[in-house]
Amino acid sequence: MSASSARTAANSERAASETHRTPAASDNGSSTLPRRQLGRYLRDWRTQAGLTIAEAARLMEWGASTLQRLEKGQADRIRTIDIQELCRIYGIPDELCDGLKGLAQQAAVKSWWHAFGDLIPENFDVYVGLEASARELRSYQSELVLGLLQTPDYTRALNRLCYPDDTEDEIERRVQLRTQRQALVTRRVSPATVDVVLHESVLHRSVGGSKVMAAQLRHLADFSTRPNVSLRILPFAAGVPLGDSTGPFTVLGFGTDSKGHQVEPPVVYVEGFTGDLYLERPADVERYHLAHECLQRSALDIQPSRHLLRQLAKECAA
């Protein structure tokens, strides 16, 4: 994370005294993101195992309400030995089980710095599980194309650089996983809405060569015609709208229930080189929402953005 991003986060935490209580995240910290992620994974694997809450709780010699609180991320005390036993009952692979036990050991905090390989194995991707549950994503990208909008060739070129020791089969597995994630946006039933501001520098940064970039730019232009996707380009001429650099970030929302209450509190995801930052405090989330709105206002409108993408794609292909 850059120094300016760290300052942004620090300023947000100083503003946290103005926060208000949200339905899914009380001030006592009992519903933290790591625990909600743990509960989400356990619920999904229990369902895959064909077990009801009552059946699984009986196997654990628990009351159903105990397992229900764990799945909702509301358990006050979580023992790794219990997570180990649930993993055995559900048939969860060992490598995933290690990640779940790591989630169970995270402190009850509203802002979480997930250092790669610290308690949670480095190959356990916390963000992917969070993203899969999102109903809307607001993102600013200043370095690379947002993962949900990448073509396979663009992803493949990045992975070959990032994982030079991987075999071609391992690279293809990573590409396939990234492609599968995009179903969140492309599925016919209830696709997530995506609102992206992409800095113009991303369009000129060559990844995989001119042919790959031309296809990626065309893909972005075509993708932006979807009713659930808004894509704007922040041009060089816009300068620094915020007066400081936030770095890339994504604000994830999880929708509302029948009464209009948030299903889960929104989360800000700030990707880092050695770890990721997750912010849940309402003041932090609001600060990034306002930053995204400011970047939107300074960016090109959707149609001019699409025109620029198609124009640059032609130049790359020439």
Q: Residue 91 maps to which CATH number?
A: 1.10.260.40
3-class SS at 165?
A: coil
* Residues 216 and 286 both lie in one domain: yes
* Residues 239 and 153 both lie in one domain: yes
With CA atoms as reference, report the closest residue to 22 among 283, 269, 252. Answer: 283
Q: When comparing pLDDT for 192 and 75, which is higher?
A: 192
* Residues 192 and 149 both lie in one domain: yes
d(CA 90, CA 4): 44
* Residues 139 and 79 both lie in one domain: no
Whether 189 maps to a domain, the answer reads yes
CATH for 132 = 3.30.870
Name 37's Cβ contacts closer than 8 Å, sequence gap at least 6.
73, 103, 126, 129, 130
d(CA 265, CA 106): 18
> Where do runs of H (alpha helix) occur along the chain?
3-14, 33-48, 53-60, 64-71, 80-90, 94-104, 126-132, 152-162, 168-181, 183-186, 200-204, 210-223, 282-298, 302-317
State mean pLDDT over 279-295: 95
Whether 210 maps to a domain, the answer reads yes
* Residues 187 and 262 both lie in one domain: yes
Which two three-digit tokens encode residue 318? 């020439």
pLDDT reported for residue 63: 92
Whether 182 maps to a domain, the answer reads yes
Banded pLDDT at 6 (limits 50, 70, 90)? very low
Mean pLDDT of the chain: 86
Whether 112 maps to a domain, the answer reads no
| Angle ∠(242,244,246) on CA atoms, nearest 5 | 90
- % of the chain exceeding 90 in pLDDT: 65
Q: Which domain holds residue 256?
A: 119-317
pLDDT reported for residue 165: 93
Which two three-digit tokens encode residue 53? 């809450």
Whether 13 maps to a domain, the answer reads no
Number of structural domains (the chain) is: 2
Name the phi and psi angles at 70, rounded to 5: -65, -45
- % of the chain exceeding 70 in pLDDT: 85
Pairing between β-strand 229-234 and β-strand 193-199 as defined by DSSP bridges: parallel
Q: Is the pLDDT of residue 147 over 80?
A: yes
pLDDT reported for residue 129: 81
pLDDT reported for residue 226: 97
Q: Is the pLDDT of residue 162 over 50?
A: yes
d(CA 16, CA 282): 7
Whether 28 maps to a domain, the answer reads no
Whether 114 maps to a domain, the answer reads no
